Amino acid sequence: MSTSTSRPAGLPHFAVAGIGAGPANLSFAALAEGTVPGAVALFDRRGSHAWHPELMHPGARLQTSWVKDLVTLVDPRNRFSFLNYLVTTGRIYAFLNAQFEAIPRLEYDRYLAWASGELGTIRYGVDITAISFDGVFVLGSGDRPVATADHLVLGLGTRPYVPDCFELPGPHGVLLAEELTGHFTGCRPGPHETAVVIGGGQTGAEAVLSLLRLGLREIRWIGRRPWFAPMDDSPPANDFYRPAYVRHFQSLPAHVRDSVATNQILTSDGVSMATLQELYQVNYEIRLAEGRSPVMMLPGRDVVGAVERQGSVVLRCRRLGGGQEQHSARHVVLATGRRPAPLPLDPELLDLAPGEEPVIEADYSLRWKHGDTNRIFAQNRAQSSHGVVDPNLSLLSVRSAVIINSLLDRSVFSIRDEQVHTLWA
């Protein structure tokens, strides 16, 4: 790992600076402990640890096995394993006896918070808004530099995607799924206030269940797909989430990779079967008790317009089978997916990278002019080159191990995936 000797004076300097302290960079920092020489620091804009706190709906479950934690797949003896978290916090027996098929999302958040505290290398409340290069990377927050680093690991996470027809702040009553709980705090809705949830994935399903728990009985769930598709969690689907398949995927031509990744989307973006079953069962039981189903399923619709009219939001939908229809609601919840957060790299630095979008190599490094001496690694931004697994939690530790091996130019971590029964074309 080469370093630069030119450093602006008076600023703390780190061998590696991680931007963002979500699961991706926590995994990197956990595996870097004791392996990466020099100081490693993570910077996060939040004042303390938080992992999608607004989406901790009651009953929400993680869609990934707890074995696929921050470290275990490449370093099972690492002190930052989920199992060590359970043992050291005294939760192991209660956890085992609860017999979870899928762990609560809140439990995973508590695990991440525990790891954050154990690391002790996170600078919370520091929003890195600009990164320039002057022999070393200069990290800026607001209008002042706060640190320098030889190398960067960008783990910036995602931001909610808002369809163009809404352009938030839009009509009154339109809110993001993350805002749902806060929206109704202190003002419980009447049971017959109409609500529409837009987005047919896991977040959309959880938003529908949350509205049911709030007592709403006039809910419409809109999705683009022809049906509200369950996530494919079969053994062949899970084969896409292993190092051997990632290597195969990278060997494919670019135009083939795009098509393949699109066809695999339901292995990550579908709704957990247990969530669908709960929703259907609650819908059925409320009909038994009250004589009317509270949730109307509306698949095969694409919302293309939204206007406010007399205290309601009127949605215009294009139907998959042709034609259009309208729906009116007092509350509209957007669960329309997420997009990568913008890179905080200065334009001059970006100019040193070829193309409109930086090229991400097999080791997750960005291709740029000084990449031989000062590395920039990007997490959760390489689906086009690494497949559907990239924005997923499944191979967090594997990706971090690849980055560390590349950074140190040696195999610190062995990534073994030898028992493969599938020969992909």
Check whether residue 81 and residue 190 sit in a common domain.
no
Beta pairing partners, 221: 197, 297
Please determine, for residue 111, whether its predicted confidence score (pLDDT) is greater than 80. Answer: yes
Is the Cβ–Cβ distance between 333 and 345 less than 8 Å?
no
The pLDDT, as a whole number, for residue 152 is 98
pLDDT for position 337 = 92
Q: What is the pLDDT of residues 383-407, one digit of tens each?
A: 889 999 998 999 999 999 999 999 9
| pLDDT value at 285 more than 90 | yes
Across residues 276-291, what is the average pLDDT?
96
In the chain, the number of structural domains is 2
- Give burial (CB, 10 Å; 0-12/13-18/19+) of 91: middle
Residue 52 has pLDDT above 90, yes or no: no
Distance CA 279, CA 206 (A): 9
Q: What percent of the chain has pLDDT over 70?
A: 96
Residue 102 located in a structural domain: yes
Q: What pLDDT, on a 0 to 100 scale, did the predictor assign at position 358? A: 78
Q: Which residues lie across from 324 on neighbouring strands?
A: 318
Last residue of a domain, one of 298, 318, 334: 334
Q: Are residues 37 and 143 in the same domain?
A: yes
Domain match, 107 and 37 both: yes
Answer whether residue 270 shows pLDDT above 90. yes
Q: What is the mean pLDDT of residues 272-295?
A: 96
The answer on 273 and 329 residing in a single domain is yes
Does some domain include residue 243? no
Specify the pLDDT at position 1. Answer: 62
Do residues 294 and 216 lie in contact, with contact meaning Cβ atoms separated by under 8 Å? yes
> Are both 130 and 19 inside the same structural domain?
yes
Which pair of structure tokens corresponds to residue 397?
């530790």
Please give the model's pTM, rounded to 2 decimal places: 0.92
CA dihedral 306, 342, 71, 75 (to 10 degrees): 140
State whether 314 and 213 are in the same domain: yes
End-to-end CA distance of the chain: 36
For 401-413, the pLDDT digits (tens) are: 999 999 999 999 9
* Residue after which a domain boundary falls, among 334, 359, 382: 334
Is residue 297 domain-resident?
Answer: yes
DSSP 35-94: TS-S-EEEEESSSS--SSGGG--TT-B-SS-TTSSSSTTT-TT-TTSHHHHHHHTT-HHH
Residue 37: CB atoms within 10 Å: 12
- Supply the range of the domain harboring residue 328: 174-231+269-334
Whether residues 141 and 202 fall in one domain: no
CA distance 103 to 101: 7
| 108-145: burial string, b at 16+ Cβ within 10 Å, e else | bbbbbbbbbeebebbbeebebebbebeebbbbbbeeeb
pLDDT at 170: 60
185 & 224 share domain: yes
In tens, the pLDDT along 54-66 reads 787 788 889 999 9
Cβ-based neighbours of 260, under 8 Å, separated by 6 or more: 249, 252, 387
Q: Tell me the pLDDT tens digit for each residue of 23-51.
A: 999 999 999 999 999 899 999 999 999 88
Within-domain flag for 257: no
pLDDT for res 4? 46
Looking at the domain assignment, is residue 246 inside a domain?
A: no
Are residue 51 and residue 114 in the same domain, yes or no?
A: yes
In a domain, 252, yes or no: no
For residues 275 and 326, membership in a common domain is answered with yes
Residues 317 and 390 in one domain: no
pLDDT at 35: 95
Give the Cα separation of 302 and 318 in Å (integer).
5
Cα-atom radius of gyration of the chain, to the nearest Å? 23
The answer to whether 185 and 195 have CB atoms below 8 angstroms apart is no
Out of 334, 355, 374, a domain closes at 334
CB under 8 A, 24+ apart: contacts of 253-257: 254/384, 257/384, 257/385, 257/387
Residue 268 near residue 338 (C-beta atoms within 8 A)? no
Report whether 161 contacts 336 (CB < 8 A). Answer: yes
Question: How many angstroms separate the Cα of 398 from the Cα of each of 24, 72, 74, 148?
Answer: 10, 9, 6, 27
Q: Which two tokens stand for residue 377?
A: 């690694």
Average pLDDT of the chain is: 92
Which CATH number characterizes residue 384's domain? 3.50.50.60
Position 5 scores a pLDDT of 47
pLDDT at 8: 66
pLDDT at residue 355, rounded to an integer:
64
Over the stretch 305-315, which tens digit does the pLDDT of each residue have? Answer: 999 888 899 99
**Contact indicator for 204, 223 with CB cutoff of 8 Å:** yes
Q: Which amino acid is at 247?
A: R
Same domain, 181 and 329: yes
Tell me how far apart the alpha carbons of residues 336 and 222 are, in angstroms, rounded to a whole number: 10
Please, which residues have CB within 8 angstroms of residue 280's CB and are 6 or more apart in sequence? none
pLDDT tops 60 at residue 168: no
Residue 363 resides in a domain: yes
Within a domain: 255:
no
Query: For 218-233, what is the mean pLDDT?
Result: 96
